[in-house]
Amino acid sequence: MSFKLEMERSAKKTGSNIVLALDLPPDQPQRLLSKSIEILKMVHPYVCAVKLNRQLVLPLGLSNRVQQIVEWSHDQGLPALMDCKINDVGHTNRTIAEHYYKAGFDAVTASPFVGWDEGLQPVFEVAKQMHRGVILLVYMSHKGAKEGYGQTIYEPKTERKMPQYVVFAQKALSWNADGAVVGATYPEKIQEVHAILKNHVPIYSPGVGAQGGDIESAIEAGARYLIVGRLITLAQNPAETAELVRDTAKQFLKE
């Protein structure tokens, strides 16, 4: 089963389009592992996937502790995403992707800034070989995103000036990416990117809650999945908050 189909299956089964970002404050590795599993036990009925970032993986280590989180997620039928933002030369990118896929992750994030030839092509090749996914960063959720993703560039193929994120959206489509990240904090960018991707490449939107992204605005603009972290992980009652976020999002999802 392809990663896109796996996500669709999980979203249908759970009735949720929420990807839980396990964003936790720094702590001792064993406590981070315990807290991660504790949160997952509380919120797994209300989410369709789990996302880890380097902030969590670095102290836990890719083997053993991180694999326990991935395996626990899989036991609940939840895909596991690695937000590693691959952004190097091709042979290095391939090795990075292989390590995360072998650790059990179903998809990785990658930056289209490095291009295709001797850039992300090896990542897509190994993803295809291992039946995993690649999600491209098209427009991130933080304030400084405009300095890179929002800059105006000269596009040689069309000989036109274009926003960088528009070119990245076009690459996500032509490279047959499994997803595109566009921050929920920029619904107007989601709308533009969705007009390019339509339903061929689903949009993943981080930034709901702690960064000020709005659930309704993001979904109405075209986001398929919402990546929600601190709003849930730092809540006094993570399960109650996750259920509320899921139910709020369901009001605006188009079947």
- Which residue numbers are catalytic? 85
Helices 121-130 + 90-102 axis angle, to 10: 30
CA distance 19 to 81: 9
CA distance 23 to 19: 12
Cβ atoms 137, 181 nearer than 8 A: yes
CA distance 179 to 5: 12
> Could you tell me the two tokens for 125?
């090749």
